Amino acid sequence: MKILVLGAAGMIGRKLIERLLVNGSLRGEKIEAIHAFDVVEGAFDNSGSINITTQAGDVAEKATIDRLVAARPDIIFHLAAIVSGEAEADFEKGYRINLDGTMNLFNAIIGEEGYTPRVVYASSIAVFGAPFPASIEDEFHQTPLTSYGTQKAIGELLLADYTRKGHMDGIGLRFPTIVVRPGKPNAAASGFFSNIIREPLSGKGAVLPVDKSVMHWMASPRSAVNFCIHAAELDGETIGPRRNLTLPGLAITVGEMIQALESIAGSKTAALVTHEPNETIMGIVANWPRRFIASRAEELGFSAEKTFEEIIQAHIEDELGGQLPQ
């Protein structure tokens, strides 16, 4: 089996590839090769039996994507994207990467006669826009109120139509906000959700730009990888014609997040979070959904954490060696 990962140097892409290298198989088949593609080259352990190739490039360059698809990977994970805050700030760049890049991939697949790979497309709950009901069910309409959400919604429609026409076997995943993200803060408007946990756990201060009453839908990086692998392995007929799924997660307020941090790491750690309101971030977050009933995805076997303590503990185990810093 050959696998192509677009967005391989990003957090989910990197963790996905690391898991695949450990597992060694997918869909009951031995993984022979992984092609890891992103705007920068990722670094992966290439000491095992799986041939891993890293490549830097631009998903918006058609010829580049054509060459990647010409190798006919069995499974394509399309995780490459400009994140929400950056897509809102740079209108042209957001559409170039998030829409043109997706179109390049889908059209390259059409160009390969007799080729129908499984495509796992990373979408987002940003495809939904306010006003929201208390809980959003699977039948809720898509009316995104950000450029990022619009780009992802278009990608979902394209994936469903290309799958209907038999050009690919696609599944779109509307990821919750993924926390706690390791590393440095990124340009995503949702970045503070990770910052207020990750930084205090490392003994650093963090800024909370919204009110503690703000609620959001979240899952861990560990769950994000599980989502991708499960999506790759699902039977297409079981998924049915509705190819885009809202994934399970945890609805929790920022105040409850900080309480969970205190319960695990103590009051001094929680006190490292300071409230500094940011009108721009508050305005963006106000248009985000807060709670979902992800019935279809759960029926198909997707699952996520039930408490925020589980999410924090996953970060400690996966990124801090299982121990809190002294």
- Residue 186 belongs to some domain of the structure: no
CATH assignment of the domain containing 80: 3.40.50.720
Closest CA to 8 of 49, 56, 45: 56
Is residue 148 part of the annotated active site? The answer reads yes
The residue whose two tokens read 């809190």 is 324
Locate 82 and state its tokens. 């400009």
pLDDT bracket for residue 270 (50, 70, 90): very high
188 in any annotated domain: no
Span 95-132, pLDDT tens digits: 999 999 999 999 999 999 999 999 999 999 999 998 99
Catalytic residue among 95, 121, 148, 162: 148
Number of domains in the chain: 1
Assess if residue 28 is contained within a domain.
yes
- pLDDT at residue number 308: 98
Q: Could you tell me if residue 200 is inside a domain?
A: no
CA distance 100 to 202: 38
pLDDT level of residue 54 (50, 70, 90 thresholds):
very high
Q: What is the pLDDT of residue 264?
A: 96
Tell me the whole-structure pTM to 2 decimals: 0.94
Angle (nearest 5°) at CA 185 between 89 and 134 = 70
20 within a domain of the structure (yes/no): yes
How far is residue 181's CA from residue 183's CA, in Å, rounded to a whole number?
Answer: 7
> How far, in Å, CA of 55 to CA of 68, rounded?
10
Query: Is residue 39 a part of any domain in this protein?
Result: yes
For residue 28, what are the contacts with CB-CB under 8 A and spacing of at least 6? Answer: none
Task: Say if 292 falls within a structural domain.
Answer: no
Question: Which residue in the block uniquely carries the two structure tokens 């925020």?
Answer: 308
Whether 320 maps to a domain, the answer reads: no
Length of the chain: 326
Which structural domain range is residue 46 located in? Answer: 2-176+220-246
User: What residues contact 155, with CB distance under 8 A and at least 6 apart?
Assistant: 98, 99, 102, 121, 123, 172
Percentage above 90 pLDDT, the chain: 86
